[in-house]
Structure 1
Amino acid sequence: MSPHPRPAGTSAPDGERTPTVVVDGVHVSYTVQGGRPARGGATAALGRLLSRGTRPGGRTVHAVRGVGFAAYRGEAIGLIGSNGSGKSTLLKAVAGLLPVDRGQIWTQGRPALLGVNAALMGDLTGERNVILGGLAMGMTRAEIDARYDDIVEFSGINEKDDAVSRPMRTYSSGMGARLRFSIAAAKSHDVLLIDEALSTGDAAFRRRSRERIDELRAEAGTVFLVSHSHSTITETCDRALWLEAGTLRRDGPAAEVVAEYEEFTGKAGQKRGK
């Protein structure tokens, strides 16, 4: 695996730091089923499928291509890149939710993946989801009870209409994302993976989130953050990985990597405009 620069503020050599995630030459592919919409409705489509006796074709997407890096305790690492560059796929692979085709991933403890689409139970109240989410995060019922008020207060969902007593399906996407982050951040993690969850909410919630991420890092954890908000990356992270077309294009201090990416995308936009 190729060497990587130390994140800003880290002076100790790599050998004196504790790695939490090692990604070594990883390739990840997945299949997108289906193609152009067919005519004739579902009944006709099922008839064609049964008469053919085969499964519908799919398209294979090679989403991550030979990516390698090491992450260490106390780091907050941002992932940037254009849509479809492999950021979310890489996080899912680190979390163990997607298999790798080639290469290997080592992690310290069990990584926790938090995304805007993380599943909570829509028909259950916010209160019940806090309990179930806490249990899924490995907390005991006593720990959940002790932290319940803080979780709800942090999320801000109960500020209007006693939202914590309403079903999750009545929440806006922002309310749901804030509650998911609040549940996940209620305990320490060796590795916490956050996919766009901090792009929701007002400035006060984003500030509380950044402060909580700093606390998680101080508790010897590692945080990965995917966000299209470059200011969130530079304010929250000291290191950034830039993925493009599934490859790791740059790994270095967050401000430098973001500036290089913005210069690259600006030039690409100028070329398209000609």
Structure 2
Amino acid sequence: MAETSPTPPAPGSRVPTVVVDGVHVTYTVQGATKGGRGGATAALGRVLSRRRTAPGTRTVHAVKGVSFAAYKGEAIGLIGSNGSGKSTLLKAVAGLLPPSHGRIYTHGQPSLLGVNAALMGDLTGERNVILGGLAMGMTREEIHERYQEIVDFSGINDKGDFISLPMRTYSSGMGARLRFSIAAAKSHDVLLIDEALATGDARFQRRSQERINELRQQAGTVFLVSHSNSTIRQTCDRAIWLEAGVLRMDGPAAEVVGAYEASTRPRPPKTP
């Protein structure tokens, strides 16, 4: 599982915030059964160390021997097709999915957006800002000082007093914007964002990208999973391309995204 570095880095050195060393992530999901729905979603978080699986289960080898180091001040985009292992890798870095092989070392505490800010549908947006802020490690005083900034940033109240309504009345986009706003109100050693910038209008996406740049300057490293290649280009200076759990390419965002796009273009039919 993820390990926190016990010693501070030497002054003036290039500071690694995350080191992923030969990591494999394997988990077991419950297969569909006759007459009912499969339990794959519920079983996703259950990682089994044993190789034998019960009847009706399926073992998924989601991440296969991935290694890289991330450094303070970087914004790293994770790209790849659906099921390539991007979200699983984020969860492993956050310590939510222990590697079956290999090691993950982190300097400071990684924060996975939408997990640390675990919001509750029956509570109002206002109460969720408080609970989410506490879950992100803020004090009550810090939450009070930043409360209005969080609400304004999210745009929840742009069309009414939604912050006083239960979260279950929000659209999925409103909930995602509020989660991002809570997470972005605090500096992080490592901030992990999974598709958060896909929600909201162009104005919110622009504010989100600006806030990510501020977080990079203030603290540590930002990881971003997005299916929007333009978002990766605009927000990240580095990209990691995963395909079928394997690291295909790691380098400048423009180069990696360009190579990924070239691989997904349909090839012209062969002429007879």
Query: Same fold judged by TM-score > 0.5?
Result: yes
Residue 156 (structure 2) aligns with? 157
Code of the residue aligned with 1:84 in structure 2: it is G
How many residue pairs match? The answer is: 243
SS in 2 for 1:194: strand
Contact conserved, 2:124 with 2:166, CA < 8 A, in 1? yes
Residue 49 (structure 1) aligns with? none
Code of the residue aligned with 1:27 in structure 2: it is H
- TM-score of the aligned structures, taking structure 1 as reference length: 0.85
Change (3 A) 1:71 1:160: same
Change (3 A) 1:40 1:222: closer
With 54-63 and 149-158 compared, the bigger mean Cα shift is at 54-63
Matched, 1:39 2:35: yes
SS in 1 for 2:176: helix
Code of the residue aligned with 2:81 in structure 1: it is S
Code of the residue aligned with 2:152 in structure 1: it is E
CA distances 1:189-243 after superposition (whole Å, capped 9, x unpaired): 0000000011000000001001100000001310000000000000000000000
Q: How does 1:20-31 map to 2 (within 5 A)?
A: 20-31=17-28
Matched, 1:19 2:16: yes
Q: Which has the larger radius of gyration?
A: 1
Code of the residue aligned with 2:203 in structure 1: it is A
CA distance in 2, matches of 1:39, 1:140: 48
CA distance in 2, matches of 1:34, 1:231: 36
CA shift, 1:160, in A, is 1.7
Contact conserved, 2:116 with 2:136, CA < 8 A, in 1? no
With 117-126 and 63-72 compared, the bigger mean Cα shift is at 117-126
Deviating beyond 3 angstroms after TM superposition, the runs of 4 or more aligned structure 1 residues are: 115-119
CA distance in 2, matches of 1:102, 1:270: 41
CA shift, 1:71, in A, is 0.2
Q: How does 1:217-232 map to 2 (within 5 A)?
A: 217-232=216-231
Change (3 A) 1:270 1:135: farther
SS in 1 for 2:24: strand
SS in 1 for 2:82: coil
Residue 110 (structure 1) aligns with? 109
CA shift, 1:34, in A, is 1.9
Contact conserved, 2:118 with 2:132, CA < 8 A, in 1? no
Q: How does 1:1-274 map to 2 (within 5 A)?
A: 16-35=13-32, 37-39=33-35, 56-115=55-114, 119-267=118-266
CA distance in 1, matches of 2:197, 2:36: 43
Change (3 A) 1:117 1:259: farther
- TM-score of the aligned structures, taking structure 2 as reference length: 0.85
CA shift, 1:117, in A, is 11
Give the % identical residues: 78
Change (3 A) 1:194 1:33: same
CA distances 1:36-94 after superposition (whole Å, capped 9, x unpaired): x41399xxxxxxxxxxxx96520000000000000000000000000000000000000
Contact conserved, 1:26 with 1:102, CA < 8 A, in 2? yes
Contact conserved, 2:116 with 2:132, CA < 8 A, in 1? no
**Structure 2: any 5+ residue segments left out of the alignment?**
1-11, 38-52
Code of the residue aligned with 1:26 in structure 2: it is V
